[in-house]
Amino acid sequence: MDGSSTLSDLRVIECADGVAGPYCGKLLADLGAEVVKVEPPGGDSSRRFGPFPGDRPHLERSGQFLYLNSNKRGVTLDLEHAAGVEVLTRLAADADVLILDRPRSQLEALGIDVDALREANEGLVVTVLTPYGFTGPYKDWAGNAHTVYQMSGMGRETPSGYVTDPEHEPPLSPGNPQADYLTGVTAATSTMVAITYRRVYGGGQLVDVSGVEANTNHVRMNWNMFAYNPDLLGGREKAAFGQVIECKDGHIFFAPYGLDHWWMSLRRMMGDPEWARDEVYLTGPGRTANVNNIEPHVRAWALNHTRDELYWMSIENKVPCFPVYSASEMRASPQLEARGFFIEVEHPEAGSFVQPGAPVQQTGSRWAIDRPAPRLGEHTDEVLSELGYSHDAIVALFRDGAIQG
Amino acid sequence: MQNKPLDGLRVTDFGWILSIPHATAWLGTLGADVVRVETEVRLDLIRVQGMNRGIDGVLGLNRSGAFNGLNYSKRGVTLNLQKPEGRDLALRLVEQSDIVTENFSTGVIERLGLGYEELCKVRPDLIMLSGSPVGLTGPEAMATGWGPTTLAYTGLPWITGYRDGPPAAYGGAYPDFMIGVQMVFSILVALHERERTGKGQHIDLSMAETVAAMTPEPLLDHEFNGRDATRDGNRHPVFAPQGVYRTAGDDAWIAISIETDEQWAALIDAMGSPAWALDRTLATAGGRRTRHDEVDEGITAWTHRHDTHGLAGLLQSVGIPAAPSWGPRDLAADGLLRERGFLTPIGHTEVGEREVAGLPSRFSAMPELAYGPAPMLGEHNREVFCDLLGVPEEEYERLCADGVIG
């Protein structure tokens, strides 16, 4: 890809399905890494998840797939077929990074030997993303974003501070595969750790990214409190120090109780009502102990204001408050518009559409979508030719069903 | 001694609270000399606020489990940046640093005279990372908040929650620590660029944008179909049934996700083929989704009699994605995270060694990640100001007395 991009010296083979591995590949690809995506003959599962234009399922029009796989070239290999595995082996021999997402037992059943791949290419970084770890007691368990999020302890924290009837309100998972995206970010970061290591000391390595660990990393406060004061861990009903609360025309996330100056600002915003002048509320511990007395007043006050009024009042008074946006409301945010966050992408099958842009603005590193997501098998021929397969050999592989395009 | 990829690099860390402290704990563990700059004038909330429950029944600034379990592998100094001499010392530290991190409220670092352009004068190839709720530019740049508040902006809470319930707040301070991990990615990318071109850069990380980039589905649904997706508990657009089901015991639950019709058939077998489940209209995901409430009731009638872990093992043995819905007590009791090295003992000067949460990935070239202790408040003042910056002894004493250091 573009030689002026930060990661354009990296060649990545992404043999991973769904969200976690592909998001890892996307973070690298959008900064210039050359990523070849290996798909099975039926295509990546995210081709079947949508959202689809007009709700009509179509392998080339799934929003999730198109978003995750732009900037990548696509080859279709049947890894159940020895010749398919041979192509993957040759791809890995010439790569800097290989992204995998199967347990060792499944890789070995296919004839993919991670250790042999590393011996054949000593600079290779192999990043393996699995639900519960490449090693350990659950290494062969099946999993997805839902089971990973729940096992990690995050389910117990969601929703936070809302559970009024723990018997009938189960731990919740996010409304999208957030747990997998998070594993993808952790894998991309860890891959860059290994690339940095290689730059300094030479040699690749195996990077083992567990979905449960990537997610449980976010309840680290619980871990740390547990380590120091196990008796302090509460149940799911605990009151949070920030809450989603209703206002005149929607919801805000409001967290004005933590610091003394936030509290004084809130009093000012509310017109310093009599009830709020109670001295016991002047300190953090006082507010924490009395949150059930404070909250109903604040909720009643918020109901008289619009979301925008509360947001701007809070910006002016330096109090943490954000509007709870739906997708369309976020799309209309003047802030995201001013920063040029959304970008338009053109795809030959799905037309043009707006999608999220760079996750981080890095002034010194080019971030761009230079090509749309590949159609199934679009670059099989091209990539195999580059690998040195002759025209006849490629035709034979097609005939055997080891590759598709 | 094990090689560490960031050996020889120095980080001046002006960050605080959650996201940057996690990011710089990665950098320090990976070999960088991280000097965390705190001030007694405005203490890190995590040292003092509700999360500081003390240790062994004793409260103290160096006894916050939350702080110590987050800020490992760093040195710590105290410096009042509002005093001109404090700023000068900070500049001298930055001059010897490769990376600077900060997440003050937008505009504060410039007012302190320590903005990116100023710092580049002493360190032209500097990599600087600024973290903020919605970015350093734009009409709302002055908005105040940390991860969980900013999350509301991204459309993620909107699609998360019980059916007919309000949008859900996330726990675990989500997304603060993910933001920390993303920060490490951006810094390592910037180092890669510096290696290539010799140039540093300023990284402007908006937490809202980082999470929005991980939440494309509702936005694309709106793009394609002009609607806003709503909340539907634990249900999935394609897999059915999917849920978190009650098991035997106090507040005990299991997560089950049926991805294929074959897995549904295996679940029927595992449940002992109850009559309700044999209904042919439930043989397809579409059919199960239409009658999801009924299916959930049937599954719960079975799961609630069983122990969580045994049930997860049984379902896994027939190829069904299932896992216990665990809290920290369950995870600690299970041993998975200890065996994998995520939970790890890390020392501390005042409170000694404690088992806390390490980094979430395993590296074959660094099988034992070498964690250093979290700093006590101002623990390395003399070491950094006298030994590293060469401040003479009497001068150091005076700066302490004048409240510049402290």
Buried residues in A126-151 as b, exposed as e (16+ CB within 10 A): bbbbbbbbbbbebbebbbbbbbbbbb
Domain co-membership, A56 together with A184: yes
| Tokens at B128, concatenated | 């600087």
| Domain contains A235 | no
Give the pLDDT score at A234: 65
B338 touches chain A (CB under 8 A): no
Q: Which of B181, B203, B262, B297 to mutate to test the interface with A (most CBs of A within 10 A)?
A: B181
The CA distance from A198 to B5, in Å, is 8
Domain boundary among A295, A328, A361: A328
**Cα-flanking dihedrals φ and ψ of residue B83, to 5°?**
-90, 140
A1 in a structural domain = no
pLDDT band at A238 (very low <50, low <70, confident <90, very high): low
Angle between helices B19-29 and B176-197 (to 10 degrees): 50
Closest-CA residue in chain B for A353? B223
Could you tell me if A74 and A214 lie in one domain? yes
Distance from CA of B402 to the nearest CA of A (A): 26
| Distance, CA of A146 to CA of B80 (rounded, Å) | 46
Q: Flag if B192 and A156 touch (Cβ within 8 Å).
A: no
Mutate to test the interface with B, among A219, A222, A228, A232 (most CBs of B within 10 A): A228
Strand order, beta sheet including A250-254? A243-247, A250-254, A321-323
Whether A322 and A398 map to the same domain: the answer is no
Are residues B221 and A63, on separate chains, in Cβ contact within 8 Å? yes
Q: Residue A239's pLDDT is what?
A: 58
Percent of chain B with pLDDT over 90: 88
Closest CA to B22 of B135, B101, B89, B126: B101
Confidence tier at A243 by pLDDT (50, 70, 90): confident
Domain membership of residue A375 (yes or no) is yes
| Residue where a domain terminates, one of A303, A328, A353 | A328
For the segment A156-188, what is each residue's pLDDT rounded down to a tens digit? Answer: 989 987 788 888 899 999 999 999 999 999 999
Residue A17 pLDDT > 50: yes
Q: What residue in B sits closest to A170 (Cα-Cα)?
A: B244
Strands (E), A243-379: 243-247, 250-254, 321-323, 342-347, 351-356, 361-362
Q: What is the pLDDT of residue B51?
A: 64
**Chain B within 8 Å of A171 (Cβ-Cβ)?**
yes
Rounded-to-integer distance, Cα B47 and Cα B66, Å: 8
Residues A120 and A166 in one domain: yes
Q: Do A315 and B202 touch (CB under 8 A)?
A: no
Do both A397 and A287 map to the same domain? no
Confidence at residue A1, expressed as pLDDT on a 0 to 100 scale: 43
Substitution target in A24, A196, A291 with the highest count of B β-carbons within 10 Å is: A196
Residue A230 lies inside a defined structural domain of this protein: no
Nearest-by-Cβ selection for A326 from B191, B195, B228: B228
Share of chain A above pLDDT 90, in %: 85
Pull the structure tokens for residue A404. Answer: 């598709």
Q: Do B161 and A159 count as a contact with CB atoms less than 8 A apart?
A: yes
Cα–Cα distance measured from residue B313 to residue B262, given in angstroms and rounded to the nearest whole number: 18
* Residues A253, A242 contacting (CB under 8 angstroms): yes
The predicted pLDDT at position B113 comes to: 97
Query: Sorting pLDDT into bands at 50, 70 and 90, what band is B328?
Result: confident
Q: For the segment B256-289, what is each residue's pLDDT rounded down to a tens digit?
A: 999 999 999 999 999 999 999 999 999 999 999 9
Q: How far apart are CA B100 and CA A30, in angstroms?
A: 24
Same domain, A214 and A357: yes
Residue A233 has pLDDT above 80, yes or no: no
Q: Which of residues 106-165 of A touch B (CB under 8 A)?
A: 131-138, 141-144, 146-162
Contact of A367 with chain B, judged by CB distance below 8 Å, is answered with no
B124 touches chain A (CB under 8 A): no
Chain A neighbours among B 90-119 (CB < 8 Å)?
A: 105
* Nearest C-alpha neighbor of B39 from the set B65, B73, B69, B15: B15
Q: Say if B49 is an interface residue toward chain A (CB within 8 Å).
A: yes
Q: Give the residue from A328, A353, A388 where a domain finishes.
A: A328
| Spatial separation of the C-alpha atoms in residues A319 and A341, rounded to whole Å | 25
Residue A307 in domain: yes
Task: Provide the domain count of chain A.
Answer: 2
Tell me the residue range of the domain where A196 lies. Answer: 11-218+340-404
CB contact under 8 A, A170 and B177: no
B176 is known as an active-site residue: yes
The Cα A147–Cα A173 span in angstroms is 9
Same domain membership, residue A295 and residue A352: no
Question: Strands of B99-102's sheet, edge to edge?
Answer: A361-362, B201-206, B127-132, B99-102, B10-13, B33-38, B75-78
Instruction: Quote the mean pLDDT of chain A.
Output: 94
Span A79-104, average pLDDT: 97
Task: Write the pLDDT tens digit of every residue in A42-70.
Answer: 999 999 999 999 999 999 999 999 999 99
Please indicate, yes or no, whether residues A353 and A323 belong to a single structural domain of this protein: no
Q: Mean pLDDT across chain B, nearest whole number?
A: 95
Rounded Cα distance between A285 and A229, Å, is: 18
DSSP for B111-125?
A: HTT-SHHHHHHH-TT
* Burial class of B287 by CB neighbour count within 10 A (0 to 12, 13 to 18, 19+): middle
Give the number of other Cβ atoms within 10 Å of residue A308's Cβ: 14
| pLDDT above 70 (res B224) | yes
Q: Are A114 and A29 in contact (CB under 8 A)?
A: no
CB contact under 8 A, A223 and B186: no
Kindly determine whether residue A150 and residue B255, on different chains, have CB atoms separated by under 8 Å: yes
Distance between B275 CA and the closest CA of chain A, angstroms: 25
Place of tokens 């959930």: B296
Q: Report residue B247 as tokens.
A: 């098991």
Q: Do B223 and A355 touch (CB under 8 A)?
A: yes
Does residue A5 sit at the B interface (CB-CB below 8 Å)?
no
Spell out where B150-279 has E strands.
Answer: 201-206, 242-246, 253-257
A165 is written with which tokens? 């009837």
Longest dimension (CA), chain A: 86
Task: Identify whether A4 is part of a domain.
Answer: no
Beta-sheet strand order (sheet of A72-77):
A403-404, A72-77, A34-39, A11-15, A97-100, A125-130, A205-210, B361-363
**Tens of pLDDT along B245-254?**
999 999 999 9
Instruction: For CA atoms B246, B252, B255, B258, give the dihedral sign.
Output: negative
Q: What is the mean pLDDT of residues A98-121?
A: 98
CB spacing of A288 vs B151 below 8 angstroms = no
A150 closest CB neighbour out of B185, B213, B244: B244
Other CB atoms closer than 10 Å to residue B142's CB: what's the count?
Answer: 15
Query: How far apart are the C-alpha atoms of B203 and B244, rounded to whole Å?
Result: 40
- Residue A91 pLDDT > 60: yes
Q: Rounded to a whole number, what is the distance in Å from the CA of A390 to chain B's nearest CA?
A: 35
Domains of chain B and CATH, by start? 10-213+338-401 (3.40.50.10540), 242-325 (3.30.1540.10)
Q: What is the pLDDT of residue B313?
A: 98
How many CA atoms does the CB half-sphere of B320 hold within 13 Å? Answer: 30
Domain with residue A250: its CATH number is: 3.30.1540.10
The phi-psi region of residue B249 (left if phi > 0; otherwise alpha if psi is between -120 and 50; otherwise beta) is left
Least confident of A50-54, A162-166, A210-214, B118-122: A162-166
- Weakest-pLDDT range from A286-290, A334-338, B184-188: A286-290
**Per-residue model confidence (pLDDT) at position A275:** 97
Percent with pLDDT over 70 in chain A? 96
Assess B340–A contact: CB distance below 8 Å, yes or no: yes
CATH of the domain at A213: 3.40.50.10540
Distance of CA A113 to the CA centre of its chain: 28
Quote the tokens at residue A261. 């100056």
CA angle A138, A139, A141 (to 5 degrees): 65
Q: Do A218 and B325 touch (CB under 8 A)?
A: no
**CA atoms within 13 Å, Cβ hemisphere of A7:** 30
The average pLDDT across B328-333 equals 85
Neighbouring residues of B238: CB distance < 8 A, sequence distance ≥ 6 = A48, A49, B285
- CA separation for the pair B200, B66 (Å, rounded): 33
Q: B371 in helix, strand or coil?
A: coil
| Active-site entry in B176, B251, B261, B293 | B176
Please indicate, yes or no, if residue A333 is contained in any of the structural domains. no
N-term to C-term CA, chain B: 34
* A398 CA: distance to closest CA in chain B (Å): 29
- Asked if residue A191 and residue A106 are part of one domain, the reply reads yes
**Which tens digits make up the pLDDT trace of B62-74?**
998 889 999 999 9
**Cis omega before residue B241 (within 30°)?**
yes
Decide if B59 touches A, using CB distance below 8 A: no
Whether pLDDT at A230 is above 80: no
Whether residues A253 and A211 share a domain: the answer is: no
Mean pLDDT over A360-378 rounds to: 96
**Does B365 score more than 60 pLDDT?**
yes
Judge whether A230 is closer than 8 Å to chain B, CB to CB. Answer: yes
Tell if the CB–CB gap between B220 and A205 is shorter than 8 Å. no
Contact between A353 and B143 using a beta-carbon 8 Å cutoff: no
Clarify whether residues A34 and A70 are in a common domain.
yes
Q: Do A315 and B142 touch (CB under 8 A)?
A: yes
Task: Say which of B3, B135, B357 has its CB closest to residue A220.
Answer: B357
Smallest CA–CA separation between B82 and chain A, in Å?
Answer: 19
Contact state of A357 with B221 under an 8 Å Cβ cutoff: no
Q: Which of A17-31, B159-173, B378-392 has the lowest mean pLDDT?
A: B159-173
Instruction: Report yes or no: A352 at the B interface, CB cutoff 8 Å.
Output: no
Q: How many angstroms separate the CA atoms of B185 and B191, rounded?
A: 10
A2 assigned to some structural domain? no
A144, A176, A233: residue with CB nearest B328: A233
A235 pLDDT above the threshold of 80: no
Contacts of A365 in chain B (CB under 8 A): 189-190, 193, 201
Whether residues A175 and A92 share a domain: the answer is yes
